[in-house]
Amino acid sequence: MVETVLQESLLQEDMLQEKTAKRELHPYLLVARQMVEGLAQMLGSRYEVILHDLSHVESSIVAISGNVTNRKIGGPVTNYLLQILKQHGDNAPNCINYRSVLPDGRILRSSTMFIRDDEGHIIGSICINQDLTDFIVASKLAQELTAFGQPVVEGEETEELFAHDINEVMEAMVKSELEMARKPASYMQKDDKLAVVQSLEDKGIFDVKGSVEYVAERLGVTNFTIYNYLKQVRCSKR
C-alpha cells in the first residue's frame, strides 16, 4: 500500500516536471533559463539557482541548478515570494541577502531578483540560495577560540610586553607614562611628575630594583624627590 502511494506520487511528480519543461515561456524567461546552470557552476556547490515562471505559481520552477533546498522543476513558489507579490505587485523590489531557514535547521542566505516584461509587469524571478550553515558553525567556533576574558587590571586595555630583561620592561613602562603625559619632563610641574609616579606605583614598577633611580633620571629629579612622591602617594591610599 505504502509503495503504491509512493510510486503514484513519484509518477505525478515526473508528469508535472515533464509538463512544466514543455511549457511555453516568455522570451525573457527563455534568456534567463540559459544562465541558470552557468551561474550555479560559477558560485559553487553550496549555492542553488532557480528560475520561476510566476504565471504559474503552483508549478513556477522552470529551471534549477544546485541542490540546496532539494526542490525540482515543477515545484511551487515559496510563501515569502507569494507575500512579496501580494504586498507589492509589479512594484516588488528585489530582495537581496535575506535569511531563510530550512525545516532541517540549515540557514540560508537568499536573494530574489524579479524579471519584468516590456510593460513592467513581473513575469518571473531568479532566486539564489546559499547554504551558510557550515560557515556559521565555523564562525562561532572561531569566535570561541579567539575570545578574550575580562582583564584583571582595571582601566584601559594593557599592551603586554614580553621582554627578555626586567630593565626593558621598566623602561617601556616609564616611556609609556611619559608619552601619555604629552609634555617633556623639563616642562612638567610637581603635580605632573607626582601623577606619573602615582601611575607607575599603581602599575608596580617600584617593586623593581633600580626603578627609583631610573624614574628620577627620566623625570630630572633626585632619588630623594621620588621617595617623597612615593610617600605622598602611599599615604593618600591609607
pLDDT at 226 over 60: yes
pLDDT of residue 157: 57
175-186 pLDDT tens trace: 989 998 888 999
Between CA 161 and CA 17 the distance in angstroms is 68
Between CA 120 and CA 9 the distance in angstroms is 38
pLDDT of residue 4: 60
pLDDT of residue 149: 77
pLDDT at 8 over 70: no
* CA dihedral sign of residues 213, 219, 224, 225: negative
pLDDT of residue 156: 55
Query: What are the residues facing 109 on neighbouring strands?
Result: 99, 130
Helix, strand, or coil (residue 77): coil
How many CA within 13 A on the CB side of residue 8? 5
State how far the alpha carbon of 127 is from the alpha carbons of 9, 64, 106, 180, 208, in Å.
26, 9, 17, 56, 67
Phi, psi of 62, deg, nearest 5: -110, -10
pLDDT at 6 over 60: no
125 and 49 in contact (C-beta within 8 Å)?
no
Residue 35 burial by CB count (10 A; 0-12/13-18/19+): exposed, middle or buried? middle
Report the range out of 15-29, 142-156, 220-234 with the highest average pLDDT.
220-234
Query: What is the mean predicted confidence (pLDDT) over 97-124?
Result: 95
pLDDT of residue 163: 73
pLDDT of residue 237: 77
Per-chain mean pLDDT for the chain: 89
pLDDT of residue 9: 56
88-104 pLDDT tens trace: 999 999 999 999 999 89
Task: Enter the pTM of the model.
Answer: 0.62
pLDDT of residue 53: 97
pLDDT of residue 23: 84
Residue 224 burial by CB count (10 A; 0-12/13-18/19+): exposed, middle or buried? exposed
Query: What is the mean predicted confidence (pLDDT) over 124-138?
Result: 95
Phi, psi of 235, deg, nearest 5: -70, -35
pLDDT of residue 22: 72
pLDDT at 14 over 80: no
pLDDT of residue 158: 60
60-88 pLDDT tens trace: 999 999 999 999 999 999 999 999 999 99
> Where do we find the cell 587590571?
153
| % of the chain beyond a pLDDT of 70 | 88
